[in-house]
Amino acid sequence: MTETISYQVTHNNSEALSIIVNIKQDMHGAHPVSITHFWTFDKKSGEVITLNDLTEQAEKSKTKKSWQPPKIISIRPSNNAHKPGNGPE
């Protein structure tokens, strides 16, 4: 059996580290086996960050800063609209 393991760092900043690990196994049969693992780690806690963690954070931030549509203001001419003799011409 031949096994090859490789990795790639896809994201690395002060908060998180993401890596991809590829494992290829060839047992000299008809088809080799390939397995790929993806991990993102919280650098402060060392814990794995899951997709669910990210979507929960996104939902929480939406409720904190919920978008509000702009208020519609109707603009009507005032009684002081320009009329001859009522201001500069």
| CATH code of the domain in which 44 resides | 3.30.565.40
Query: Which residue range(s) make up the domain with 38?
Result: 2-50
6 within domain boundaries: yes
Strands (E), 1-89: 2-12, 16-26, 33-42
Who contacts 1 (Cβ-Cβ below 8 Å, separation ≥6)? 25, 26, 27, 28
33 within domain boundaries: yes
Residue 38 token pair: 């993806």
Q: How many domains does the chain have?
A: 1
34 within domain boundaries: yes
Who contacts 24 (Cβ-Cβ below 8 Å, separation ≥6)? 3, 4, 5, 32, 33, 34, 35
List, for residues 62-81, the tens digit of each pLDDT value. Answer: 665 555 555 555 555 555 55
Contact 52, 30 (CB under 8 A): no
pTM: 0.57
81 within domain boundaries: no
71 within domain boundaries: no
List, for residues 8-63, the tens digit of each pLDDT value. Answer: 999 999 999 999 999 999 998 889 999 999 999 999 999 999 888 878 777 776 66
